[in-house]
Amino acid sequence: MAKGRIRARLRRSNFYTFGCLRPATTEDVPHPLQGPGYSRTVCCNQPHLHEKRPLHYCKNDISTTKYNVITFFPKALFEQFRRVANIYFLLAACLSASPISPFSPLSMIAPLAFVVGLSMAKEALEDSRRFLQDVKVNRRKVYHHKGNGVFGPRSWQNIMVGDVVKVEKDKFFPADLLLLASSYEDGICYVETMNLDGETNLKVKRSLEPTLSLDNDESFKDFTATIRCEDPNPNLYTFVGNFEYERQIYPLDPSQVLLRDSKLRNTDYIYGVVIFTGHDSKVMQNATRSPSKRSTVEKKMDYIIYTLFTVLILISVISSIGFMIKTKYQTTEWWYIRPDNIEYQYDPHKVGVAGMSHLITALILYGYLIPISLYVSIEVVKVLQATFINQDIQMYDDETGTPADARTSNLNEELGQVDTILSDKTGTLTCNQMDFLKCSIAGIAYGVRASEVELAAAKQMASDIDDLDSDLSNFPLPKTKKQVSLKNVKRSEEIELETVVTSKGDEDQRYAIKGFGFEDDRLMNGNWLREPNADVILLFFRILAVCHTAIPEVNEETGNFTYEAESPDEGSFLVAVREFGFEFCKRTQSSIFVRERVSESEQVVEREYKLLNLLDFTSKRKRMSVIVRDEEGKIFLLCKGADSIIFDRLSKNGKMYLEPTTRHLNDYGEAGLRTLALAYRRLDEQEYSAWNNEFQKAKATVGADRDSMLERVSELMEKELILVGATAVEDKLQKGVPQCIDKLAQAGLKIWVLTGDKMETAINIGFACSLLRQGMKQICISTNSDSGSNDVKKFFYSTPQAIKDDILNQITNASQMIKLEKDPHAAFALIIDGKTLTYALENDMKHQFLGLGVDCASVICCRVSPKQKALVTRLVKEGTGKTTLAIGDGANDVGMIQEADIGVGISGVEGMQAVMASDFSIAQFRFLERLLVVHGHWCYKRIAQMICYFFYKNIAFGLTIFYFEAFTGFSGQSVYDDWYMILFNVVLTSLPVISLGVFEQDVPSEVCLQFPALYQQGPKNLFFDWYRILGWMGNGVYSSLIIFFLTITIFYDQAFRVDGQTADMAAVGTTMFTCIIWAVNCQIALTMSHFTWIQHLFVWGSISTWYVFLVLYGMLSPVYSKNAYQLLVEALGPAPIYWSATLLVTITCNLPYLAHISFQRCFNPMDHHIIQEIKYYKKDIEDQHMWTRERSKARQETKIGFTARVEAKIRQLKGKLQKKQSSLTCMSPS
């Protein structure tokens, strides 16, 4: 606490000119809170008043589950009976209780109950995980005022509206709070809102003046107050209310409100009163309900079942018509039916009744066309697939010990059909760590260490260098002594990739000093004093050491200073300048102290800079300035900011280093670094005094014009600047992010970034991730209201309709520009902010916006709210009709995660809200590559092939029942024993199809990653389109015809046993069933590309099981085995015709498929066929050049990722080389 009290002497609110709050004065007018939407009343520190209505508000516990105890059964049953096949089997189970059913009720009800029950149990298990994580959040502790000035721990779920809570440093706020006081005497606190808007910059909040004295536990003993404010709503950036305290009313605004799931930073503690709890809090108001998601394959499966229903009804109607004809005209001739006691279903005088009764019988009898076991088999397969995803060691994060987690297995195959990825930025792509990497001072570039983007691009350049050299060899060069080579061109272009390619540095290397990745001996250890512009370098270092709002703290263990800064950038600047010999060591209300090492003697001098004014950074100003007086009495304005802003404010003699600095900034941007320009201005005493009088007047102004007056006065000072240099900071991406994005782009996936961060930051990360690159045309859609330089322009842009028209005009012009672009290599990037997005998402404009976004190579949406993230996701999902995947790590990403077809949560450091709402969770963004390109590809093909095969085998089996019924006069008689029919789907064909769905691999995982274009088989739906589905159905029809008619032909009117007996129905039916078992199991063996001992065991074991069953079943008493008694041992086994028929039918059934795949592989092979043959013949080992060439072809043409960046550079090099070759040709003698 001592350290906290020392800091408390610093009134940090004085630092901020534009920052947290206007000055509190007696002229502040309370908000007129009348009408709907402003009915909430909060009685502070009086919890008993909120225990009953009308002041009883919702509890503070939250739930992200899909079900609860009451809704589980109705909702889960509804989910199960959304599947049309289940509805059919429910009706069939009900009808099976009638006397006309060909099967017993138990045989129909039991399978349905098993399938539905298993699926519901899986749903319950997956939802219970969400429930347990909800419990973990709800049981977090916070200090709560018990009464009499005593605070004690209480669970979040028990916090009520009106409670006073104490939140300590680095803890999350349990609800939406009104800030009353903090550990700083002026009520300032710092809040990290990364979970809400994705920003890592700390927000400054400040309490009202009247509550500043409530800065200890005892002061709340008799505290009471009343808050009247707006009702719960999802607007994160607005709040309207009044605070009634000690007979005074004070207006409230967002700067006093601390939102749930924000984190307290750089402040020891705060006191706050709860305004909104639980699902009333703004973060939960932005959440959407857990949706019930179904994969595209499963939805399409419904249409297949509709088709089979149509076939089922058709053949049932045909059967019934045939039965009616038989009944009407032939029943009278059937002497074995007693005319005096005929049953109603055979009565020729009641043909209609007979037909209807037979229709019901037929619908149940032919039910094997609709595979009830398909659903349970798919459930089993998906659970096993999810298990393999969870246990994939390649997606295990060693640092955190976190594996991948398939939280729902319903969407496994959807992973293989993703078209668009919508990603958060902060915490998802980046890890919130800034490293000072390079700088430009006096027009000279310093810093030789490569950024992650340069390393990634260099690796790609190195891998492509051989192909490029072979391509360049096609250009005829003149026979001159001066030889032109690629390396010469590279050197002439000052490309640093050559050194990067040869470096052995590990891209994951952790720098020895956190925040400092700089490497250049020219500036280190005082060597900068020997540089030609040492005076400019000195000024550069002093600007970094003085121009900031950070607070130094001594680390008691190491004795070094650490810095509490508003942004990670500022912290990295101070760490860097400390390493250069300028250590910021102390701050008072009016001074900044820096320990400077400005001589080669290593002597340290502590200098004091009087802080006269601080013009802080805002997203609108895009710059920060301080006015200081040094020890010699000179007054300087030191400024740092966005290069475009600084360059516009340079004096004529301040542009000496403008050209080289601009070139360096472009290089830094290409390397994916965040840049700032540094400048200064020398002021004389009289000029400063006059300006300061104006500034203080503007600062003391109360009213709506205060900010604009301050901005105008600041503009007067921040001009005529002299450029010093620029900084380049690497926003540390998560490990492997550039490579992952590059691979996903090569797989043909589109990537949209949706972030709450400001536009400049998002653009920098876009460059770092290679979503943006130099040469890519950026289309920035924005409202022009802020850019209006005069009142007339602002007036015209002030109406909503005018703003909408302007935005629509920008979108239309951009779309037209893309269409008219003739360069095939041209790439466009769309960048839009949240304010503009509000208009762009309206119904009359959203489709134009979507069309523009789809035409662009990458899309970045900045300053978006959680609700807007969800709306953009919905627009892409519904507008394109293609599969979307959303990935994020914070509570602000929950909406889009739930809205997307697939939601992926990053189980990072900041909370678990995204994970709780997700379908899959991974520890790092880079694992998304393997999740999609490997597991997604495999799961899609496995499920697609499995479903197609399932329909094939059930059609092949089910239609034989129809053929036999037609063959026997539509009698309703089945040719198969009841036990055969029960075992067909449950035992004899179930395990091979499960092994297909779990273990099948068209290519190994490493080949999937080497040939990312294979992934496009999923989005193009090559394995589950109607052509393939109908082809498999046709194969089933063909097999059924062969099985039935060939078997009947072989056995009809021919001697079957040695003594000349012909086959009876049991022998024919068993032979036919044997043929089915062999045909369908051999078919699945032909379908498989990858065999393990498990597949062999299941396929050949299933066939063997049939014979074992037939022997054991035949050994039972005839009471149980009936006509199958000793059938195999005594009748079928000794008969050669049985074995020859089985062999002939099996070969004939599978011959067309074998011919088809042979023809396809020879004349129209698919991508994976070629790869399989290369691997089989080991061409990848014997002919490495061919393997590399095939790999280079096996990626989708893309305009994002470092591969696209390298290709653009290679095109540039080729162009330069051709020009140089042309010039040499002209110079050479003829």
Q: What angle do CA 773, 776, 780 make, to 5 degrees?
A: 105
Q: Do residues 1000 and 941 lie in contact, with contact meaning Cβ atoms separated by under 8 Å?
A: yes
Q: Which of these, 376, 527, 308, lies nearest to 997 by C-alpha position?
A: 376
Distances (CA, A) of 255 to 231, 708, 743: 18, 19, 43
Residue 892 three-state SS: helix
Give the span between the Cα atoms of 1098 and 496, in whole angstroms.
Answer: 57
Residue 483 three-state SS: coil
Q: Which of these, 496, 519, 514, lies nearest to 574 by C-alpha position?
A: 514
How many of the other CB atoms lie within 10 Å of CB of 487? Answer: 12
Q: Do residues 262 and 192 lie in contact, with contact meaning Cβ atoms separated by under 8 Å?
A: yes
One-letter amino acid identity for 919?
D
Give the span between the Cα atoms of 1075 and 515, in whole angstroms.
Answer: 71
Residue 533 three-state SS: coil
Beta pairing, strands 902-906 & 920-922:
parallel
Give the span between the Cα atoms of 682 and 687, in whole angstroms.
Answer: 10
Q: Which helix (H) or strand (E) holds 248?
A: strand 248-252
Q: Cβ-count burial of 1196 within 10 angstroms (0-12 exposed, 13-18 middle, 19+ buried)?
A: middle
How many of the other CB atoms lie within 10 Å of CB of 46? Answer: 15
Q: Do residues 1009 and 930 lie in contact, with contact meaning Cβ atoms separated by under 8 Å?
A: yes
- Which residues are the active-site residues? 424
Identify the residue whose tokens are 């028929």.
1141
Give the span between the Cα atoms of 903 and 912, in whole angstroms.
Answer: 14
As given in the structure block, the two tokens for residue 1011 are 């040939």
Residue 1151 three-state SS: helix
Crossing angle of helices 759-768/658-670, nearest 10°? Answer: 70
Give the span between the Cα atoms of 1100 and 1106, in whole angstroms.
Answer: 10
Q: In what side-by-side order are the strands of the sheet with 777-781?
A: 405-406, 920-922, 902-906, 883-888, 418-423, 750-754, 858-862, 828-833, 777-781
Residue 563 phi/psi, 5-degree rounding, is -125, 130
Cis peptide before 1019 (omega within 30 of 0): no
SS (H, E, C) 1041-1067: HHHHHHHHHHHCCCCCCCCCCCCCHHH
Q: Which of these, 387, 392, 394, lies nearest to 409 by C-alpha position?
A: 387
Q: Which of these, 869, 834, 831, lies nearest to 852 by C-alpha position?
A: 831
Q: Is 37 left (phi over 0), alpha (psi -120 to 50) or beta?
A: left
As given in the structure block, the two tokens for residue 697 are 């007047």
Give the span between the Cα atoms of 1139 and 1074, in whole angstroms.
Answer: 10
Beta strands in 740-869 (DSSP E): 750-754, 777-781, 828-833, 858-862
DSSP assignment of 718-735 equals S-SBEEEEEEEEEEEEPT
Identify the residue whose tokens are 């393990």.
1092
